[in-house]
């Protein structure tokens, strides 16, 4: 006898054998018991959830010789429906029989009485593939068919079926089968086949099946071909490129500890093992979701992927805010996978961003720098003679310039100012555009003493009136953009990381570091962010002074700072290139922008 696939061999032979879909089974059984049979049914739902199987069981119940509504699986009608040879149960594949002529042929045959059973049952699979003309040709027959005919339409995409067709049918929505029902079915089949298995392997197959019984049995058959008569979890992981829960937890812990070397090493191991990056990203999100749920509830029953011990370890290691940040980054990566050509490189960048983020985990060795690494040299004091050499009564600005010049000659280069273990970049302290590289340390030392007396702390508001720039103005800004200056600023942007712990500029630096320069002009700096909440804070009017003050250090001039999200940047970029292609961009010489670092 020819081999039959598992999902065909173990197709349910009665309603009691159906995995899941209890609400549909009960409804159909009640209709049969009360002899209230509709003339047309629409079965819709995801693939592999039992639509065709239920249609065949319904046909069997309508024609069983033992009694109406039964499925004895012994009479001629039941056996012929099971093996697909019943003359009154006609299966039609709408994908290949979707034209008007095929429907007219069907209508011609509908009027003939059943040959063997009580009802003539037409099962039309993938009905959404029928053409509009075919649907219209079927309308009248579907509305008023002969008393001996029952139509059962099956589809995975009910929204593509004409509303006039749907309104003439009783609709049944099949849902994804729950894991317990699939597990019970698989264990039953494995026991009948006398195959050894372990439950973790079954669970891994269920995760891959995503609620489809047919998919689960097809995957099971694939694993049996690979592993023989004994199934282990490792067999499933090796065959489908999956990472074990332990490997995923170890990766998350390495990320939480900021161990970039270990993260990259694990990444290479995953790639070498042929692990599916998209599925790994989804699995990491599942683990982080469990960790977040447990951190807020401490309820073991709510965990779906990891154990309570694993969840407790992650709770002690990673703060809730950090968990949310990691989840947001991975969710964005899932969307980006759809538009990039090199998924591996993108995933590596995502892992690096996660591992080097400033929001470190609880107890991380990166929170406090080691004392031996901090160079704590006394700051040189300006000599009194500097004051005595200045006799001119010029303006305060010219005096300040003379002081700087004299100090450079008198003071040896000093280390960068250190605040709470973080080295403050020089551009925070003085206008880098006019400072020679050789004299920076002395200037920084002077400004440090001046800045240390400042008690005011720059704050960031999370709500308030926001600045807004229309598309026309944004296009003008893009025309004026200076690519070379943007590249120069981008190289310095990481300096904001060192300012996160600064007593005055910490909050502003923390906000700026998460963005990146998108457009730089004489009067405007446009930043690009991944999330709305961050770009909105940049655009809040009351935040502009503090942001402009810090940006002035890196640009050397006052500018208006504006922020957009990545999707907005892509939209504007598309508009820009479209206008350039039809030669409709404004001329740079004709553009006048009057921001001057002021609020809109």
Assign residue 187 the CATH number of its domain: 1.10.8.60
- Asked if 168 and 202 sit in the same domain, the reply is no
- Asked if 136 and 235 sit in the same domain, the reply is no
Q: Among 240, 272, 292, which residue terminates a domain?
A: 240
Q: What is the mean pLDDT of each run of 10 residues along the chain (600 residues)?
A: 79 89 92 91 91 92 89 90 90 85 88 89 91 87 88 92 90 91 91 89 88 90 88 86 85 90 88 85 91 89 86 90 91 89 88 75 43 45 42 42 40 41 43 38 38 58 86 89 86 81 81 88 90 87 87 84 90 86 85 61
Q: Among 223, 240, 257, which residue terminates a domain?
A: 240
Q: CA-to-CA distance for 525 and 560, rounded, in angstroms?
A: 6
- Asked if 49 and 103 sit in the same domain, the reply is yes
Q: For residue 454, give every residue at least 6 positions away whose Cβ sits within 8 Å of its Cβ, in sequence order, or none.
A: 504
- Asked if 149 and 78 sit in the same domain, the reply is yes
- Asked if 147 and 205 sit in the same domain, the reply is no
Structural domain contains residue 464: no
Q: CA-to-CA distance for 497 and 357, rounded, in angstroms?
A: 9
Burial 16-45 (b: 16+ CB within 10 A, else e): eebbbbeebbeebeebbeeeebebbbbbbb
* CA angle, residues 163, 166, 167, in degrees to nearest 5: 85
Structural domain contains residue 575: yes
- Asked if 218 and 134 sit in the same domain, the reply is no
pLDDT for position 434: 39
- Asked if 533 and 564 sit in the same domain, the reply is yes
pLDDT for position 329: 92
pLDDT for position 372: 42
Structural domain contains residue 600: no
pTM score of the predicted model: 0.54
Q: Which domain holds residue 548?
A: 471-590
pLDDT for position 430: 39
Q: Among 124, 151, 173, which residue terminates a domain?
A: 173
Number of independent structural domains in the chain = 5
- Asked if 228 and 308 sit in the same domain, the reply is no
Q: For residue 453, give every residue at least 6 positions away whose Cβ sits within 8 Å of its Cβ, in sequence order, or none.
A: none
- Asked if 162 and 188 sit in the same domain, the reply is no
- Asked if 45 and 163 sit in the same domain, the reply is yes
Three-state SS string over 212-244 comes to CHHHHHHHHHHHHHHHCCEECHHHHHHHHCCCC
Q: CA-to-CA distance for 540 and 543, rounded, in angstroms?
A: 6
Whether the CB-CB separation of 48 and 38 falls below 8 Å is answered with: no
- Asked if 506 and 579 sit in the same domain, the reply is yes
pLDDT for position 576: 87
pLDDT for position 398: 44
pLDDT for position 456: 60
- Asked if 251 and 307 sit in the same domain, the reply is yes
Q: CA-to-CA distance for 573 and 478, rounded, in angstroms?
A: 9
């Amino acid at each position: 006898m020819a081999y039959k696939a598992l999902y065909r061999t173990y197709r349910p032979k009665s309603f009691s054998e159906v995995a899941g879909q209890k609400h549909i089974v009960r409804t159909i059984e009640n209709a049969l018991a009360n002899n209230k049979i509709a003339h047309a049914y629409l079965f819709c739902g995801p693939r592999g959830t039992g639509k065709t199987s239920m249609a065949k069981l319904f046909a069997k119940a309508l024609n069983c010789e033992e009694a109406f509504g039964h499925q004895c699986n012994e009479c001629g009608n039941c056996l012929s429906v099971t093996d697909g040879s019943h003359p009154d149960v006609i299966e039609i594949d709408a994908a290949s029989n979707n034209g008007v002529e095929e429907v007219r042929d069907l209508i011609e045959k509908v009027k003939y009485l059943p040959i063997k059973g009580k009802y003539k049952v037409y099962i039309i699979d993938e009905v959404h593939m029928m053409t509009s003309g075919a649907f219209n040709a079927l309308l009248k027959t579907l509305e008023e068919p002969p008393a001996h005919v029952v139509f059962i339409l099956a589809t995975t995409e009910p929204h593509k079926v004409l509303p006039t067709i749907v309104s003439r049918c009783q609709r049944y929505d099949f849902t994804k089968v729950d894991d317990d029902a699939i597990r019970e079915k698989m264990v039953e089949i494995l026991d009948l086949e006398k195959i050894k298995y372990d439950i973790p392997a079954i669970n891994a197959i269920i995760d891959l099946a995503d609620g489809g019984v047919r998919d689960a049995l097809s995957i099971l058959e694939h694993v049996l071909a690979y592993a023989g008569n004994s199934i282990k979890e490792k067999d499933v992981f090796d065959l489908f490129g999956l990472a074990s829960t332990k490997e995923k937890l170890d990766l998350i812990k390495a990320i939480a500890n900021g161990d970039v070397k270990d993260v990259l090493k694990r990444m290479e191991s995953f790639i070498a093992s042929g692990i599916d990056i998209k599925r790994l990203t989804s699995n990491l999100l599942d683990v982080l979701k469990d960790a977040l749920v447990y951190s807020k509830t401490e309820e073991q029953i709510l965990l779906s992927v990891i154990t309570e011990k694993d969840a407790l370890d992650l709770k002690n290691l990673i703060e809730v805010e950090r968990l949310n940040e990691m989840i947001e980054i991975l969710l964005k990566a899932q969307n980006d996978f759809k538009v990039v050509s090199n998924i591996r490189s993108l995933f590596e960048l995502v892992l690096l961003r996660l591992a080097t983020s400033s929001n470190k985990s609880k107890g991380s060795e990166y929170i406090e720098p080691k004392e031996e690494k901090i160079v704590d040299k006394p700051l040189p004091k300006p000599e009194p003679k500097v004051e005595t050499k200045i006799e001119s009564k010029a303006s305060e600005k010219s005096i300040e310039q003379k002081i700087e010049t004299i100090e450079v000659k008198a003071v040896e280069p000093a280390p960068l100012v250190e605040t709470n273990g973080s080295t403050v970049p020089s551009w925070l302290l003085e206008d880098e555009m006019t400072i020679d590289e050789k004299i920076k340390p002395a200037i920084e030392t002077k400004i440090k003493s001046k800045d240390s007396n400042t008690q005011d702390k720059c704050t960031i508001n999370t709500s308030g009136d926001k600045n807004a720039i229309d598309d026309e103005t944004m296009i003008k800004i893009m025309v004026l953009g200076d690519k070379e200056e943007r590249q120069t600023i981008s190289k310095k942007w990481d300096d904001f990381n060192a300012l996160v712990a600064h007593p005055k500029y910490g909050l502003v630096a923390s906000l700026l570091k998460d963005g990146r320069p998108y457009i730089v002009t004489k009067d405007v700096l446009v930043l690009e962010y991944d999330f709305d909440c961050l770009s909105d804070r940049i655009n809040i009017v009351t935040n502009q002074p503090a942001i402009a003050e810090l940006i002035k250090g890196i640009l050397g001039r006052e500018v208006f700072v504006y922020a957009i999200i990545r999707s907005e940047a892509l939209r504007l970029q598309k508009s820009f290139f479209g206008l350039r292609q039809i030669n409709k961009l404004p001329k740079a010489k004709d553009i006048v922008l009057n921001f001057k670092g002021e609020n809109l």
